[in-house]
Amino acid sequence: MSIRLVILGILNQQPLHGYEIKQIIEEYMGDWTDIKFGSIYFALSKLAESGHIEVIEENRTGKRPAKTVYQITAAGKEEFLRLLKKAWCEHKQIIFPFDMALFFIKYLSKAEAVQYLQQRIENVTQKLNFLNDHKNEHRQNPYIPKEAIAIIDHSYYHLEAELHWLQDLLNNIDDYL
């Protein structure tokens, strides 16, 4: 999965322990990913097992759990580039959970369906506004790399598409019920 890519990519810059990796993910990718601690520690132990990373320090402060600091290996750097190129090449079909919900529309009343659609439209509109503000802040900050703005745009474009689709759906709701 892409968790391995992220962890190798982050460790490619400097050795870190699990908690720090989580913080970096949160800081730089927090808006568009949601990687849990459990996944990070699991991936770390798997990557260590396969020799892509290695422990360079086990640092115990008082009686807290020991910090296990990991470093990327030569094999890990290769694996990182392999995963990176793979991620650039393969285009995965997006799965929309809402399609399932739409598939079973006949079990809702028209009033309900309309209400939910209006809620979704409102929700998407708010997210678009939020992203717009966010992007303007980013644009003015010279320390934010351009990729970050491109990634925001990615969500923006798709949210716009979602909005238009939802509006079409609402306009033609009578066809579906």
Partner DNA sequence: TTGAATATATTCAAACTTGTATAAAAAATT
Partner DNA sequence: AATTTTTTATACAAGTTTGAATATATTCAA
CA 175 → CA 3, 107, 117, 172, distances in Å?
42, 15, 15, 6
Among 14, 23, 34, 139, binds a copy of itself (CB under 8 A): 34
Residue partners of 3: CB distance under 8 A and separation at least 6: 35, 39, 40, 43
116 interacts with DNA by CB under 7 A:
no
Residue 163: CB minimum distance to a copy of itself, A: 9
What is the size of the binding site for a copy of itself (CB under 8 A)? 60
Stretch (H or E) spanning 65: none
By a kind-dependent CB cut-off of 5 to 8 A, residue 29 interacts, out of a copy of itself, DNA, none, with a copy of itself
Interaction pattern, residues 25-64, with DNA; x per rule: CB under 7 A: ---------xxxxxx-xxx--x--------------xxxx
101 and 113 Cβ atoms separated by less than 8 Å: no
CA distances from 154 to 32, 104, 145, 150, 159 (A): 10, 29, 15, 6, 9
165 binding a copy of itself? (CB under 8 A)? yes
Q: Quick check: 19 binds DNA (CB under 7 A)?
A: yes
Task: Please enumerate in sequence order all residues whose Cβ is within 8 A of that of 64, keeping only pairs 6 or more positions apart, or say none.
Answer: none
- The footprint of a copy of itself on residues 36-75 (CB under 8 A) is none
d(Cα 156, Cα 88) in Å, to the nearest integer?
20
CA 113 to chain centroid: 29
**Total binding residues toward DNA, as defined by CB under 7 A:** 26
Does residue number 110 form part of the binding site for a copy of itself (CB under 8 A)?
no
Please identify, using beta-carbon distances, which residue of 19 and 116 lies nearer to a copy of itself.
116
Q: Does 27 bind a copy of itself (CB under 8 A)?
A: no
Contact between 156 and DNA per CB under 7 A: no
Give residues in contact with DNA (CB under 7 A).
1, 3, 17-20, 22-23, 34-39, 41-43, 46, 61-68
